[in-house]
Amino acid sequence: MGKYVVTGAASGMGHEVARRLRADGHEVIGVDLADADVEADLSTSAGRAHAVRAIMTRAGGRLDGAVFAAGVGALRGKERLTVEVNVLGVTELLMGLQPELAAADKAKVVVFGSNSTTSTPFVPRRAVRLLEAGETERAVRIVRRMGPLSGPAAYAASKIAVSRWCRRHAVSDQWAAAGIRINVIAPGPVLTPLLRKQLASSTAAQVRSYPVPVREYGTPEQIADWVMIMLSPAADFMTGSVVTVDGGTEALLRTDDW
Ligand code: NAI
């Protein structure tokens, strides 16, 4: 049986993935703000460093996989928090845990992106580039200038930056040649506490304005099914991919842009 890290393990999709892995007999190191094996605030560099140390201690030198589901939604006024958790909460942990993942045979990493990466209009490209370069403060200043659109812009920019980071690193020698697969899952709206919070916030109209052709929201169970496949040997020949599971929104909005 394997040993897996799951961030965001206390709620929503991360919770469901951790539950499935445990039910299959694997050892799971859950990471979250509270109610987790490792309690850490991934929005601060001290919290991320603590998480890496605590995971390493529990991992004992080897990790068969990691799922990065901790995330913050599109909320105005929380732009800094959003990019810290959604980008650095993935990249800094992955860099810190690379030796543990390399020690396993074909470790699998699944990172939660979002279909907002390709379906959100007016995402400032400069902010994305700054996030990719680790210039968080400057990126946040740019998205804050977008007024009422700053929440969705920060969210989409954070998910674009982290998805690009995954694609770039997945195919590099440090990761691919070390046997580590890194893939991104890009869900559309999934009924979790995160989505419910957004539907009760000032961004509700924007969230509802996205058409979902199948006319229903996704469930954590459906997304966990896809993540389990992406953690299985079925993903041995898969790295750097972004898997969209979104009820058709992306296909509807970008039919020919492919
Ligand atoms: P959720 O809110 O149910 O769970 C997210 C978890 O992340 C929570 O347990 C929360 O405590 C944890 N978290 C947040 N900030 C943290 C911090 N500073 N340090 C440590 N942990 C922290 O959310 P959900 O919906 O399950 O989201 C999982 C991932 O999927 C997120 O990355 C989200 O951006 C992404 N996503 C969600 C969609 C949705 O419609 N629910 C759509 C597309 C992507």
What are the structural domains, with CATH classification, of the chain? 3-253 (3.40.50.720)
Confidence of residue 206 (pLDDT cuts 50, 70, 90): confident
Question: For the chain, what's the residue count?
Answer: 258
Tokens of 230: 């992406």
For residue 187 and ligand 1, the question of a CB distance below 6 A is answered with yes
Residue 155 annotated among the catalytic residues of the structure: yes
Task: Fill in the amino acid letter for 88.
Answer: L
Distance CA 66, CA 122 (A): 32
SS3 state of residue 54: helix
Residue 76: its pLDDT value, please? 83
The CA distances from residue 249 to 152, 211, 218, 255, in Å, are 16, 6, 12, 10
Residue 16: its pLDDT value, please? 98
158-175 confidence digits (pLDDT tens): 999 999 999 999 999 999
Q: Is the pLDDT reported for residue 202 higher than 90? A: no
93-139 confidence digits (pLDDT tens): 999 999 999 999 999 999 999 999 999 889 999 999 999 999 999 99
Check 4, 155, 210, 217 and give the catalytic one: 155
Residue ranges of the alpha helices (H) in 125-192? 125-132, 136-144, 150-170
For residue 195 and ligand 1, the question of a CB distance below 6 A is answered with yes
SS3 state of residue 204: helix
Q: Is the pLDDT reported for residue 249 higher than 90? A: yes
Task: Fill in the amino acid letter for 19.
Answer: R
The ipTM estimated for the assembled molecules is 0.99
Distance CA 34, CA 10 (A): 7
Percent of the chain predicted with pLDDT > 90: 90
- Distance in Å from the first CA to the final CA of the chain: 39
Best residue among 13, 48, 87 to mutate for probing ligand 1's pocket (most ligand atoms within 8 Å of CB) is 13
For residue 189 and ligand 1, the question of a CB distance below 6 A is answered with yes
Please compute the mean of the pLDDT values over residues 73-93 and round it to a whole number: 94
SS3 state of residue 108: strand
Residue 55: its pLDDT value, please? 98
pTM above 0.95, yes or no: yes
